[in-house]
Amino acid sequence: MRIEVEDPKAVVEEAFWLAWQACGGTTGMGFLRDRGPSTTKEQVIANVSNAGDYFGGIPQEDGTMYGDYVFGRMMKLRLKFDESGVVFSDEMPRWDYQAWCGKYKTYEALVRAAIESITEQTEKVK
Q: What is the domain count for the chain?
A: 1
Q: Which residue has the higher pLDDT, 61 or 52?
A: 61
Helix (H, G, I), strand (E, B) or coil at 98: coil
- The pLDDT of 74-89, averaged and rounded, is 95
Largest distance between two CA atoms of the chain: 43
Note the pLDDT of residue 49.
Answer: 84
State the pTM of this model: 0.91
- 77's CB contacts (< 8 A; 6+ apart) are 15, 16, 19, 65, 66, 67, 98, 100, 110
Contact indicator for 7, 82 with CB cutoff of 8 Å: no
- The pLDDT of 96-121, averaged and rounded, is 96
- Among 9-13, 41-45, 67-71, 79-83, the least confident range: 67-71
**Residue 60 — pLDDT band, cuts 50, 70, 90?**
low
Q: Which residue has the higher pLDDT, 50 or 88?
A: 88
Query: Which of 33, 99, 36 has its CA nearest to residue 70?
Result: 33
State the residue range of the domain holding 119: 2-125
Contact indicator for 64, 72 with CB cutoff of 8 Å: no
